[in-house]
């Protein structure tokens, strides 16, 4: 991702840890996408994904 100039995580496009709750709320509304996950997806799971996505490298 670095090689092609993609932003370094969602933090590089303006999101921070204070945005995680709102991001989780929006993501949990996308049931058509979450329904295809191989395991049940919880709000804690999604929050962890967003937290780890703030900065990727």
Question: Which has more pLDDT, 57 or 44?
Answer: 44
Tell me if 43 sits within 8 A of 24, measured CB to CB: yes
Please check the confidence at residue 44 and state whether its pLDDT lies above 90. Answer: yes
Task: For residue range 3-33, list pLDDT tens digits in order.
Answer: 998 899 999 999 999 999 999 999 999 999 8
Task: Report residue 2's pLDDT band, with 50, 70 and 90 as the boundaries.
Answer: confident
The reported pTM is: 0.86
CA distances in angstroms from 45 to 2, 5, 25, 29, 41, listed in the order given? 26, 28, 12, 14, 6
């Amino acid at each position: 991702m670095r090689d092609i100039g993609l932003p370094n995580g969602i933090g590089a496009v303006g999101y921070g840890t204070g945005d995680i709750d709102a991001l989780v709320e929006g993501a949990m509304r996308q049931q058509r996408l979450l329904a295809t996950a191989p395991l049940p997806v919880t709000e804690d799971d999604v929050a962890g994904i967003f937290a780890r996505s703030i900065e990727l490298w």
